[in-house]
Structure 1
Amino acid sequence: MTHDHDLVLRPTAAQTEAALNPPPGRHGGDLVVETLAGLGATTVFALPGQHVLPVLDALRRSDLRTVGLQVENNAAFAADAYGRITGEAAPLLLSTGPGALTALAALQEAAAASSPVLALCGQVPSGGPGGRRRGHLHELEDQAAAFRGIVKSVHTARTQSQIPTAIAEAWRSALTVPFGPVYVEIPYDVLREPARVPQVTAVDATPEELPPRPELTAVAADLLARAERPVIVAGGGVVRSDASGKLRQLAEKLAVPVVTTFGGKGAFPWTHPLSLRSWMEDRHTTDFLEDADVLLVVGSGLGELSSNYHTLAPRGTIVQIDADAGKLEANHPALGIHADARLALQALLETLEPVPARENDRAARRVRELLDRVGARIAAQDLDLEQDVLESVRAALPAGSPSFWDMTILSYWAWSAFDPRRPNTMHSAQGAGGLGYAFPSALGAAVAEPGLPVLAVSGDGGALYSVAELATARRHRLDVTWLIVDDGGYGILREYMTDAYGEPHGTELAGPDFVALAESFGVPAVRTSPRELRAHLSEALATPGPSVVVLPATLRMFAPTHLEN
């Protein structure tokens, strides 16, 4: 009898030939690049640094594309977006010390959004008696420790023979659900020394699957079959696992209304009769969820934003499906199912019978009534400007184009009120909430899908984090249109502080002329108005290459509803 562990992968004749007759001049950096190529990587996001120069040299001689950015944090945002769009692990090359640490905020966003990023970091030379510090440039006492609380896993290659295995293990970790960023550290001397390891020609790093336990899906199916007022909350896990189609099948089969979290935008069709859309910061929606006798939460931990700032108090039974065990029952008791969303939804689909057609009519009527109440509340707040601006953005953006939204007032509106039209097309920094996300992320998406126009939306505060990447956009001729809503400060924080303390402090900015700044980089730019916004955005998105559209406007948020009784 043959067992799986008895199987041995034998090299092909070509692999044997390559191993016995490697190209001349190889060093440790070549082992990194050969391993990435063997795993299927095609693109590396990178900045040069003293302790990763051997990898850059190997990339120069390889078929992999190197996309260089100006700032490490922006490079990590770009890699994050590339991972979200392609579903592949995005290699990110970082140097040591300050360079590595600068990427941490973006990797926190990747971790919060379950985005697969493979951070490859250099390290100071490993020599020295007892491993003592020797005063190298960029030296840290324990560089990996800075990443350990953020990334999904940490891997170290202390010798050249460990490089292929360390990278392969990291790759598998990044692409095993829940996806996430991973960290690989390799000392400079290991990268620089002549290669003593045969050429890497085949790498096995197949991600592990996470199916649900059958007894749990059986109980969940029974609860849903007997439910009178079921509701589904669809989070980012549905998008990451490519489970949007199965979610729709289940909702239609059982006539269940669906609300998508801000991270789950696009997981369910916006105009579907069962779509509650994304009004998670609305008390009417919160009441609707609390009234459900069975609340099926898929790919969400019901965190701060998804629970209307922790005011959600469900009265019914919660069934929670999540690939991240740490999110199961983190905020509410539930029937927790630790599984990939796609596999768990498939198990429910195979078990449940469809409900009578009249249930679809009843559920659709309840959805319409809720959306009418939400619409009436917004209409009573004199917010036509904000809704017109968001409508202009939606009208200008092609249906299949991805958009990336920074932490700015227009983005807060978009979380609730923007129709993504398709899954995995709207992305924002709401996972970790850092500034400067939109533009570098849009550049990563443009690298992932060349020829498809991409939109980035920032306020002037967030834009100042990213202006250096105008050079990147021009250098690589990336099809990204950057909408900057300039209100002269940190607009959302201005509102928060005014509401809490009566007046703001430290929120105002003396920003540049963004049109002139963009043009100084050789990037076309235009100053627009709310009336002209749609036309200017449409023209910019239809024109190949980067462009900037500046909208001087002070927008307001709709009234908070987590404070209402």
Structure 2
Amino acid sequence: MTHDHDLVLRPTAAQTQAALDPPAGRNGGDLVVETLTGLGATTVFGLPGQHALGMFDALSRSSLRYVGLRVENNAGFAADAYGRITGEAAPLLLSTGPGALTSLAALQEAAAASAPVLAISSQIPTAGLGGGRHGYLHELPDQQASFRGIVKSVHTVRTQSQIPSAIAAAWKSALTAPHGPVWVEIPQDVLLAGTDLPVVTAVDATPEDLAPRPELTAVAADLLSKAARPAIIAGGGVVRADAAGKLLQLAERLQAPVVTTFGGKGAFPWEHPLSLQSWLEDRHTTDFLEDADVLLVVGSGLGELSSNYHTFKPRGRVIQIEADLGKLESNHPALGVHADARLALQALLETVGERTDPTAAERVRAVLDKVAERIGSQELALEQQVLASVRRALPDDSPSFWDMTILAYWAWSAFDARGANTMHSAQGAGGLGYGFPAALGAAVADPTRPVLAVSGDGGALYSIAELAAARQHDLNVTWLIVDDGGYGILREYMTDAFGRPTATELSRPDYVALAESFGVPGVRTSPETLEEDLAKALATPGPSVVLLPAVLRMFAPTHLG
């Protein structure tokens, strides 16, 4: 009998020859890029630094495409988006100390959004580690400790022979559900030293399947089949697992209304008769979900935004399918199913009974009508006009990346993503500066489609340096900057809470002139000309900036009453 664990990868004749006769001049950095190539990577992001030069030198001898950004945090955002779009682990090459630490906010967003990023950092020479000689440039007392609370897993290398296995283990970790960022650390001397190890040719890092336990899905299927008023909340886990098709099948079989979270945008067709869309910050939606006798939550931890700021109190039975064990039943008691969304939905499809409910679509329409009536009563025509113009200008299959700005907050609730894995924002961790560098990563992943980035003027200043990267790599990204003279959403929050804003007003550049100084065309638009100007920019190859001077307002919250 042959067992799976008895199987051994056998090298081809060409691989054997390469192993026996490695090219001259290789170092530890070559082992890094050879391993990445063997795992299937084609593109790496990052920034060089003194201790990491061995990796970057090796790139010149590899087939990997290097996309360099100007700030490590932005390189991390680009890798995050590349991982979301491709479903592959996106390598992010970093230097020691300040370079590594500057990526932390991006890795936090990747962790919150389950984006597979493979961060590989240098470290000071091994002689200085563990209480040896200190005083190295960029040295941290414990570099790994800065990342351990953020990434999925930490992998340390201290010798060259450890490099392939450590990177392969990290790759597997990043792509095993739930996806997420991982951290590999390699000392400078290990990267620089010449190596006589054979060329890395065969690397196995197949992600593990996270299948549901059958007794749990059997109970879940029985509850859903017998429910009188079932409903579904679809989160980002549905998108990451590429499970939108299975979600649609299940919802139609159960005649269950579906609301998508802000991280799950596009997981369910916006105009479907069962679609409650994404109005999670509306009490009408919250009331509807609370009234469900069986609520299926797929790929969401029901955190702050998805629970209408923790005002959501379900009265029925909750079934939660979640790949992240720490999020299972973390906010509400449930029948917790620890599983990848795709595999769990497939198991439900194989066992759930078919329901008929002639009132489901009518109840959905009634909720949406109430939402529209509430928004319509608040004199928000400008905001709705701007968002509608963006939707009409953006091709249906083009991805969009949204910074933490008022227009993005509108888009979370009101924007039709028109497909899974097309609308992304920084709502996972909530840091500024995500939109533009993430859009650059998406354009690298798929250069055949124009990509839209949306920022406010405050967030734009976080990533303005990446206009240089956009131009250098000639990436098809149109950057819409909504200029309201400051941190607009913070201005609203402070005015509501204290009667006046403090520290929210900004001096800012002429964004059009600044873009043009980078060789990137820019245009100043208005709400009336936005659709035309944005569509033209998106249809023109290469990077561009569209500046919209406008003061937008948020719709009134309804989680307070």
**TM-score normalised by length of structure 2:** 0.99
Structure 2 residue aligned with 1:108? 108
Structure 1 residue aligned with 2:457? 460
One of 458, 476, 483 as aligned partner of 2:480: 483
Structure 2 residue aligned with 1:335? 335
Structure 1 SS opposite 2:83 = helix
One of 528, 546, 555 as aligned partner of 2:552: 555
- Alpha-carbon offset, residue 8 of structure 1: 2.4
Which amino acid is 2:503 matched to? G
Structure 2 residue aligned with 1:88? 88
Which amino acid is 1:23 matched to? P
Pair 1:419 & 2:423 matched: no
Which amino acid is 1:432 matched to? A
Distance 2:257 2:299 in 1: 16
Structure 2 SS opposite 1:465 = coil
- Alpha-carbon offset, residue 133 of structure 1: 4.1
Which amino acid is 1:518 matched to? A
Distance 2:299 2:368 in 1: 23
Which amino acid is 1:430 matched to? Q
Structure 1 residue aligned with 2:163? 163
Structure 2 SS opposite 1:404 = strand
Which amino acid is 2:477 matched to? V
Which amino acid is 1:334 matched to? A
Which amino acid is 1:413 matched to? W
Distance 1:42 1:539 in 2: 31
Structure 2 residue aligned with 1:372? 369
Distance 2:447 2:157 in 1: 34
- Alpha-carbon offset, residue 355 of structure 1: 1.9
Structure 2 SS opposite 1:75 = helix
Report the identity percentage. 78
CA contact (8 A) 1:160 1:196 kept: no
CA separation of 1:129 and 1:549: change in aligned 2, threshold 3 A: closer
CA contact (8 A) 2:221 2:353 kept: no
Which amino acid is 1:433 matched to? G
Structure 2 residue aligned with 1:219? 219
Structure 1 SS opposite 2:452 = strand
Structure 1 residue aligned with 2:291? 291
Q: Which 10-residue stretch deviates more, 80-89 or 121-130? A: 121-130
Q: Which 10-residue stretch deviates more, 439-448 or 347-356? A: 347-356
Distance 1:530 1:287 in 2: 34
Which amino acid is 1:376 matched to? E
Distance 1:562 1:302 in 2: 15
Structure 1 residue aligned with 2:121? 121
- Alpha-carbon offset, residue 14 of structure 1: 1.6
Distance 2:385 2:121 in 1: 45
Structure 1 residue aligned with 2:469? 472
CA contact (8 A) 1:173 1:182 kept: yes
- Alpha-carbon offset, residue 9 of structure 1: 2.4
CA separation of 1:215 and 1:129: change in aligned 2, threshold 3 A: closer
Q: Which deviations, in whole Å up to 9, do the C-alpha atoms of 1:191-211 show, x marking residues without a partner? A: 000013111001000000000
For residues 97-496 of structure 1, what are the structure 2 equivalents within 5 Å? 97-128=97-128, 131-356=131-356, 359=357, 361-496=358-493
- Alpha-carbon offset, residue 353 of structure 1: 2.4
Q: Which deviations, in whole Å up to 9, do the C-alpha atoms of 1:152-174 show, x marking residues without a partner? A: 00001100000000000000000
Aligned residues: 561
CA separation of 1:210 and 1:23: change in aligned 2, threshold 3 A: same
Structure 2 residue aligned with 1:37? 37
CA contact (8 A) 1:133 1:141 kept: no
Distance 1:188 1:50 in 2: 8
Q: Which deviations, in whole Å up to 9, do the C-alpha atoms of 1:457-511 show, x marking residues without a partner? A: 0000000000000000000000000000000000000000100111100010011
One of 537, 540, 548 as aligned partner of 1:540: 537
CA separation of 1:509 and 1:9: change in aligned 2, threshold 3 A: same
CA contact (8 A) 1:442 1:456 kept: yes
Distance 1:165 1:277 in 2: 44
Distance 1:129 1:420 in 2: 48
- Alpha-carbon offset, residue 131 of structure 1: 4.0
Structure 1 SS opposite 2:296 = strand
CA contact (8 A) 2:127 2:133 kept: no
Distance 2:553 2:119 in 1: 38
Distance 1:130 1:140 in 2: 11
Distance 1:368 1:153 in 2: 45
Q: Which deviations, in whole Å up to 9, do the C-alpha atoms of 1:88-140 show, x marking residues without a partner? A: 00000000000000000010000000000000000011115964242111000
Structure 2 residue aligned with 1:7? 7
**TM-score normalised by length of structure 1:** 0.99
Distance 1:549 1:72 in 2: 25
Which amino acid is 1:488 matched to? G
Distance 2:5 2:434 in 1: 45
Distance 1:391 1:424 in 2: 20
Which amino acid is 1:461 matched to? G
Structure 1 residue aligned with 2:500? 503
Structure 1 gaps, min length 5 = none
Aligned alpha-carbon RMSD (Å): 0.8
Structure 1 residue aligned with 2:19? 19
Structure 2 residue aligned with 1:531? 528
Distance 1:191 1:544 in 2: 39
Q: Which deviations, in whole Å up to 9, do the C-alpha atoms of 1:367-419 show, x marking residues without a partner? A: 00000000000000000000000000000000000000000000000000000
Structure 2 SS opposite 1:245 = helix
Distance 1:5 1:330 in 2: 36
Runs of 4+ in 1 over 3 A off after TM superposition: 128-131
- Alpha-carbon offset, residue 60 of structure 1: 1.1
Distance 1:562 1:353 in 2: 35
Which amino acid is 2:381 matched to? D
